[in-house]
Amino acid sequence: MRCFLPLAAVLVVTVTAPACHAGDHEQDHRILFFSGGDISHISSFSWVGADAALLDKRSVSGPVLRIGGGVGRYTYKTEEVEDGEVAGLVTQGEAMLGWRWVRPGLTLTALAGPQVVNHILSEDDPDNHDEGTHLGAVFAGDLWWEPRPDMVVAAAGNYGTARHTYYARVFGGMRPWSWLLAGPELVAFGNRQSDQQRLGLSVSANVTGTLCLKLSGGGLHGNGNRTGVYGTFGVDRLW
């Protein structure tokens, strides 16, 4: 049996990169609220959370608190059940403390904290050990680098011990206009039972100085040579 990982692992990282344009728009703000969703032919997931600078503004190095939660659905095929397919409902939450280092054109963040993950299956699958509630720790980090004003390189990753999940994303983009950022993204995530790789295009736009919209999509490849497409959307709001 191959259990196709739901997008719970995406929660921590997809939303943790800084707002569309780190730097100028964050000078007078301490909190980044985020929300979004991800959909493919085998799963869907939505999330909400906040990233807060604890002692000063986001443009200054210092301690940070990041909390988030989400819910999603997924399906996978298995010979262990009569109908040959199982549907799952997953909920997840985490709260992390860490430190953000801010330098001109460069932001690094490292965090860690507790994590809880719960899976409910439509059928009793003896080979699926994800079912039930699992507690653990999650470790996360992200990078935002602007080697020049019209170029951005971003990377993010996390590892959760609750179900030994991992997630990694690398993005490189250009700004054809000051309010628009676009470029390719490479994503990989999985656990001990499955993995998935993605290659797509990510676009983000500053609607206002504090509101950012993000869209991405492309192709995916997972266990069992399953291929398809995915789409992700997000909304960031500085406060």
Q: How far apart, in Å, do the first and last CA atoms of the chain sit? A: 46
Convert the pLDDT of each residue in 55-69 to its tens digit. 999 999 999 999 999
This model's pTM is above 0.85: yes
Please give the domain boundaries of the chain with CATH numbers for all domains.
7-238 (2.40.160.40)
> What single-letter DSSP state applies at residue 196?
E
Mean pLDDT of the chain: 87
- Check pLDDT > 70 for residue 20: no
Pairing of strands 85-103, 195-206: unpaired
Which residue in this structure is represented by tokens 């001990």?
Answer: 192
Rounded CA-CA distance 16/66 in Å is 8
Query: Position 125: which residue type?
Result: D
Residue 114 tokens read as: 């507790």
Which residue in this structure is represented by tokens 């080979």?
Answer: 127
Query: Position 83: which residue type?
Result: D
Q: Does residue 9 sit in helix, strand or coil?
A: helix
In total, the chain counts a number of residues equal to: 239
Task: Give Cα 69 to chain centroid, integer Å.
Answer: 11
Convert the pLDDT of each residue in 167-181 to its tens digit. 999 999 999 999 999
